[in-house]
Amino acid sequence: MEILLTNDDSHDSPLFHFLIEKLKAFGRVAVVVPKTEQSWTGKSMTRFEALTAEDVQIHGHTACCLSGTPADCANFGIYHLFEGKPDLVVSGINIGINTGVAYAMSSGTIGACLEANIAGLPAVALSQELSPDVYVEFTENRQMPADVLARLNGQSDAILDRLFERLLDRADFRTAPVTWSANLPFRARADWAIVPACLGRSFYGSCFQKTGDGYRHRVMAPEEDTREAADSAVLKQGHVSLTRLDIRTFGKLG
């Protein structure tokens, strides 16, 4: 299987290194990532600036670093890094959750997958829940405590084995151009399961706060959808939420 891997946290994300090695078990992996973090860029694409690309080494693996958004990376990788198209696009593992409508529609991680769907390809978006202190440590210092990172890598190893086994068993997985959005709990319960979930009905208010003479991005966490089938509720129970996003059903007759 030919796999294109990208993310929205750039090449120095600690959760990205593990995923490169993990995906090698499923096929040949080509990597293209944004040069800088591109969180909250959704499926935006570069229109008026020329993109530049350069190779970087990520733990001994050569990756393409692109001066664009995650969706740019997906499109560029699909059409410029393979003789044909890849079989699958994987995006992540994202630093933080992408549950609910509010986050999913803003996520660069999911945006890259939607771009893959437009190209007719299946995609998997992977997002990791973190405790508040670990999340702050990453956003401020671009690193995680070594013990936390080791535990998350071990947990993700087991989760991804089961997740890909489940997806690859689906007759339509390789052919249907849909995104499978999986959110991984910070601490999976002992009897964790992969639970089909819907996008939660979560909506945020203002995304900006006045700082000095300007306004900086600062969004308060939207109210969680507590319905049992909502992705945020599944994640809160210590399970892996798995949501099927199909752009072919986004628009319906009014």
Q: Give pLDDT tens digits for 91-139.
A: 999 999 999 999 999 999 999 999 999 999 999 999 999 999 999 999 9
CA-nearest of 245, 200, 193, 204 to 226 is: 200
Q: Are 128 and 152 in contact (CB under 8 A)?
A: yes
pLDDT of residue 170: 97
Residue 108 lies in a domain: yes
Residue 38: which residues within 8 A CB-CB, separation 6 or more? 8, 9, 10, 69, 70, 108
pLDDT tens, residue by residue, 195-250: 999 999 999 899 999 999 999 999 888 888 999 999 999 999 999 999 999 999 98
Residue 172's identity, in one-letter code, is D
Residue 230 lies in a domain: yes
pLDDT of 81 over the 90 cut: yes
pLDDT of residue 224: 84
Give residue 129's domain range.
2-249
Q: What is the pTM of this model?
A: 0.96
pLDDT of residue 116: 98
Integer Cα distance of 18 and 159 in angstroms = 13
Residue 109 lies in a domain: yes
pLDDT of residue 222: 83
pLDDT of residue 3: 98
Integer Cα distance of 236 and 11 in angstroms = 29
Cα of 185 vs its chain's centroid, Å: 14
Mean pLDDT of 176-184: 98
pLDDT tens, residue by residue, 45-80: 999 999 999 999 998 899 999 999 999 999 999 999
pLDDT of 14 over the 80 cut: yes
Integer Cα distance of 200 and 187 in angstroms = 21
What's the chain's average pLDDT?
A: 95
pLDDT tens, residue by residue, 156-165: 999 999 999 9
pLDDT of 252 over the 80 cut: no
pLDDT of residue 220: 80
Residue 188 lies in a domain: yes
Number of domains the chain is built from: 1
Residue 27: which residues within 8 A CB-CB, separation 6 or more? 1, 2, 3, 87, 88
pLDDT of 178 over the 80 cut: yes
The CATH number of the domain where 40 resides is what? 3.40.1210.10
Pairing type for strands 208-211 and 123-128 reads: unpaired
pLDDT category at 44 given cuts 50, 70, 90 is: very high
Specify the DSSP class assigned to residue 96. B
Residue 143 lies in a domain: yes
pLDDT of residue 163: 98
DSSP letters spanning 160-184: HHHHHHHHHTSTTTTTS--EEEEEE
Residue 254 lies in a domain: no
